[in-house]
Amino acid sequence: MVRMHIHILGICGTFMGGLAALARESGHRVTGCDANVYPPMSDQLRALGIELIEGWDAAQLDLAPDLFVVGNVVSRGNPLMEAILDAGRPYTSGPQWLADHVLQGRHVLAVAGTHGKTTTTSMLAWILEQAGLEPGFLVGGVPLNFGVSARLGRASGDTASPFVIEADEYDTAFFDKRSKFVHYRPRTAILNNLELDHADIFDDLAAIERQFHHLVRTVPGQGRLVVNAREEALQRVLEMGCWSEVLRFGARKEEPGALRARGEPHAFDVLRGSLKVARVEWGLLGEHNQLNALAAIAAAEHVGVAPEAAARALAGFENVRRRLELVGEAGGVKVYDDFAHHPTAMRTTVNGLRRKVDQLLAAPGAPRARILAVFEPRSNTMKLGTMKALLPWSLEEADLAFCYGGGLSWNAEEALAPMGRQAVVCESIDKLVDRVVSAALPGDHVLCMSNGGFGGVHAKLLAALAAAPR
């Protein structure tokens, strides 16, 4: 392999940061830049010997890399990108570089879907690891079992290990508006679920379905599509044309050949048709995680891991950072962090915490624990207000809801009006913290949901709760 110097634009994003780690592990010299360079990603990258530059100064052209790798955060008008174009320097997208330099010649297992990609990708990587396959992986989060978001695995030759990748439908780059996942050419593809999301680039659900069918078109005839049987949108995708084996999972009743679960999400049998093939007993809760597990088991089977072995591996699965992660406790109040930002994901997360506190944490005869949901509509879809009407539905199982409404183009108070006094909207993080702390009681569970840093709200809440008189 030819060693090269690559300079990554948008290096601090989860995908591009993982790509940088893979490139460095492959022996390349890696540098990069981003609009904001800050921990924890900056610390992780510098620990790998990657030089980081803050901002988009055109003077970075003087680094004279062999190739610029451009993240989808970069658009026309970016000073560095304009200089690259004017100078005629070579550039490519992150997904294309990954396809050419990491995925080529390997059995790629791709995990696609509106929700659960990060968790399911992490489950699948852990199953293959426990099976001794030493997989490479790239995850849009940090699996607690591995402690890193990306790993190369055995990368070349006849013994190259499988590679598990979170397959995002968001666009590739300003010069390539296809979804990222069409570059990955998987032999095994999980289609976990499909809803309207990314309203900034997709006009409607049909537009996303077409992109998912582009992914289906890349799976070979000897490949496997692992498809959620409950999703009508995915059925429409398959009806556009399918050339690979399809293994369905999650059907509510017996279906020949399909995998389904029998039992509670934390302890269930895995059935193929009517035959029990495995049993999962683990620390995760929620029907969504049960479905994620079925998908991971079905995909792992395609590279030779028996369902029974996969289920044993899941018993030791520790989930992903920012997935109902307990970040601290103060004043008798527990504070959690979660990446949920789409209304369906928010509803699922609140339900998962409700199950956790009701089933595992509440003492017999104790009063029902309260959940205080604190959320930031930060994703591009939520900022547009496309799904604002679903917010009351997404928060139904929370006792109180606190919304950070700063910078929104739509009225959050109007959107949350059906919740009455159960919902509060604040225009600043500090005011939000004050309202939550004044409402919180010992024994409460505060669930913070955002796909960003949320202004450091978790640490601010813990400090304020610790200082508050009780």
CATH code where residue 192 lies: 3.40.1190.10
The answer to whether residues 159 and 137 belong to one domain is yes
The answer to whether residues 235 and 341 belong to one domain is no
pLDDT tens string 403-448? 998 888 888 999 999 999 999 999 999 999 999 999 999 999 999 9
The answer to whether residues 410 and 376 belong to one domain is yes
The answer to whether residues 346 and 448 belong to one domain is yes
Domain C-terminal end among 263, 281, 314: 314
The answer to whether residues 86 and 120 belong to one domain is no
Q: What average pLDDT does the segment 209-227 reach?
A: 96
Name the token pair of 192.
């976990």
Under 8 Å between Cβ of 402 and 419: no
The whole domain housing 10 covers: 5-92
pLDDT tens string 106-153? 999 999 998 889 999 999 999 999 999 999 999 988 888 998 889 999
φ/ψ region of 451 (left if φ > 0, alpha if ψ in -120 to 50, else beta) reads: alpha
Q: Looking at the 3D structure of the chain, how many domains does it have?
A: 3
Least confident of 191-205, 274-288, 391-405: 191-205
The span from the CA of 7 to the CA of 282, in Å, is 42
Say which residue, 358 or 25, is predicted with more confidence.
25
The answer to whether residues 259 and 141 belong to one domain is yes
The answer to whether residues 159 and 298 belong to one domain is yes
Domain C-terminal end among 314, 343, 375: 314
The answer to whether residues 350 and 460 belong to one domain is yes
Q: Look at residue 126 and tell me if it is in a domain.
A: yes
Q: Smallest Cα–Cα separation from 98: which of 12, 5, 181? A: 181
The answer to whether residues 168 and 201 belong to one domain is yes
What is the torsion angle, in degrees rounded to the nearest 10, for the CA atoms of residue 307, residue 146, residue 286 and residue 261? 0
User: pLDDT at position 329, please?
Assistant: 93
The answer to whether residues 406 and 342 belong to one domain is yes
The answer to whether residues 245 and 349 belong to one domain is no
pLDDT tier for residue 303 given thresholds of 50, 70 and 90: very high
Q: Look at residue 246 and tell me if it is in a domain.
A: yes
- CB-count burial class (<10 Å; 0-12, 13-18, 19+) for 5: middle
pLDDT tier for residue 37 given thresholds of 50, 70 and 90: confident
Q: Kindly write down the DSSP assignment for every residue of 236-304, as one continuous string.
A: HHHHT---SEEEEE--SS--TT-EEEEEETTEEEEEETTEEEEEEE-S--SHHHHHHHHHHHHHHHTTT
Q: Smallest Cα–Cα separation from 338: which of 284, 374, 385, 293? A: 374
Please check the confidence at residue 362 and state whether its pLDDT lies above 60. no
Residue 442: give its domain's CATH number. 3.90.190.20
pLDDT tens string 258-284? 999 999 988 999 999 899 999 999 988
The percentage of residues in the chain with a pLDDT greater than 70, rounded to a whole number, is 96
Residue 57: give its domain's CATH number. 3.40.50.720
Q: Look at residue 100 and tell me if it is in a domain.
A: no
Q: Look at residue 98 and tell me if it is in a domain.
A: no
Domain C-terminal end among 63, 92, 121: 92
Q: Round the average pLDDT of the chain to a whole number and report it.
A: 91
Q: Smallest Cα–Cα separation from 380: which of 196, 209, 211, 233? A: 196
Q: Look at residue 273 and tell me if it is in a domain.
A: yes
Q: Look at residue 178 and tell me if it is in a domain.
A: yes
The answer to whether residues 77 and 156 belong to one domain is no
Please check the confidence at residue 200 and state whether its pLDDT lies above 80. no
Helix%, strand%, coil% for the chain, nearest 5: 35, 25, 40
pLDDT tens string 78-118? 999 999 999 999 999 999 999 999 999 999 999 999 888 99
Q: What average pLDDT does the segment 357-376 reach?
A: 78
